[in-house]
Structure 1
Amino acid sequence: MTRFLLVRNIPAGGSRRAVARAARAGGAVLAVCLSSLAALAAAAPAQADDAAQPVRAVLPTPGGLSSLARIAVPSGQPVELLEAVVEEHEQEAWLILRYLAPQIVRDGGGGNGFDHEASAPDLDYLCNSEGVREFDARARQGAQIHQVVVTMLNRPLERGTSDPDVIQFNEAYRVEDGACMMEFY
């Protein structure tokens, strides 16, 4: 699995520390100096077992995805890119796009949040806009992506871990003729 950590807010003069920390964790790094990354850099573990999962800081991704801006989605809820990863699943490459959507709520949660039904058009939109753009960019680089998975989370969660308090909406798509087609299992 290739992990892309979308890095932002690296403080001037602090980028060497952030790059060194990521390199010790086994990653190749491309970093951009913006403002303050102290919390993110300090949170990057530098343990020996992290070397098995290299971290690559990318800003922006091959398709131009960036974690710097809020993404306008049909529902109007705030959404930001957390990460873009390519994973191998049963001899297929999947492009995983993970987004922070802090106002999503469990179905039937009521209140002022966005449940899965209200967020479904956003998931489709994210695939058809950012997902297709990233899919095409990676295809031009020779990657053969078989599926695009779009995930919205109400708060950041490391991929592959679980937390019952984190709400996640996931949809899987295949890209055909420049459009996302939902995969049904």
Structure 2
Amino acid sequence: MALGAANASAEEPVEVPSGLDVVFHDWLDDQGAHRFRFIAPEIGQGGKQFDDVVDDMAHLCDQFVLPQLEIQELQASQVVISLMAEPVDFGEMAPDVTQFFESYSVENGLCIWELF
């Protein structure tokens, strides 16, 4: 597993349809699946729930991930978007931190939602 070198800055907010505060955290190549992880402090525990952010996750795939992959001249067949209330080391259990995940296949330059 290798960390991708996205051109996006980890400090700059990423706009999403709901207006949620989202910041790019990191990008991992996990055996061919590109995992893009974002921090969204307003999710879970009294904040936005999965149904409130599902459109944001699709937007992140289409408007953030696909351009980053193109910049890096990478092809992807699968993309996983993660929203975390706070940073969590990849693969670590963090039951007190809300995390949402969605998986997308990439076909013809589009993110297509897959049931995770």
Q: Establish whether TM, by shorter chain, passes 0.5.
A: yes
Question: Is residue 100 from structure 1 mapped to residue 100 from structure 2 by the alignment?
Answer: no
Give yes or no for contact 1:95–1:135 (8 Å, CA) kept in 2.
no
1:131 maps to a residue whose letter is V
Consecutive aligned runs of 4 or more in structure 1 exceeding 4 Å deviation = none
Residues of 1 paired with 2:67 and 2:8: CA distance? 8
Separation in structure 1 between the aligned mates of residue 69 and residue 107 of structure 2, nearest angstrom: 11
The match for 2:59 is 125
Question: Quick one: which amino acid aligns to residue 121 of structure 1?
Answer: D
Question: Could you tell me which residue of structure 2 aligns to residue 71 of structure 1?
Answer: 14
- Structure 1 residues 1-185: aligned runs within 5 Å: 1-4=1-4, 58=5, 61=6, 64-88=7-31, 93-105=32-44, 111=46, 113-138=47-72, 140=73, 143-184=74-115
* TM-score normalised by length of structure 1: 0.59
CA contact (8 A) 2:43 2:98 kept: yes
Cα offset, 1:66, TM superposition: 2.0
Give the C-alpha shift of residue 183 in structure 1.
1.5
Structure 1 residue runs without a partner (length 5+): 5-57
**3-state DSSP class of the match of 2:18?**
coil
Aligned with 1:145: secondary structure? coil
Distance in 2, Cα, partners of 1:85 & 1:156: 14
- Cα distance between partner residues in 1 of 2:77 and 2:106: 8
User: Could you tell me which amino acid in structure 1 is paired with residue 98 of structure 2?
Assistant: I
Provide the aligned length of Structure 1 versus Structure 2.
Answer: 116
Q: Deviations over 1:86-121 (max 9, x none)?
A: 111xxxx0110000000001xxx5x4x110000101
* One-letter code aligned to 2:36: L
Q: Greater relative contact order: 1 or 2 (C-alpha under 8 angstroms, separation 6 or more)?
A: 2
CA contact (8 A) 2:77 2:107 kept: no
Determine the C-alpha separation between the residues in 2 that align with 1:155 and 1:166.
Answer: 7
Q: Which has the higher helix share?
A: 1
What SS does the corresponding residue of 2:29 show, helix, strand or coil?
strand
Higher strand share: 2
Percent identity reads: 29
| Cα shift at 1:163 | 1.1
Q: Compute the TM-score of the two structures, normalised by the length of structure 2.
A: 0.91
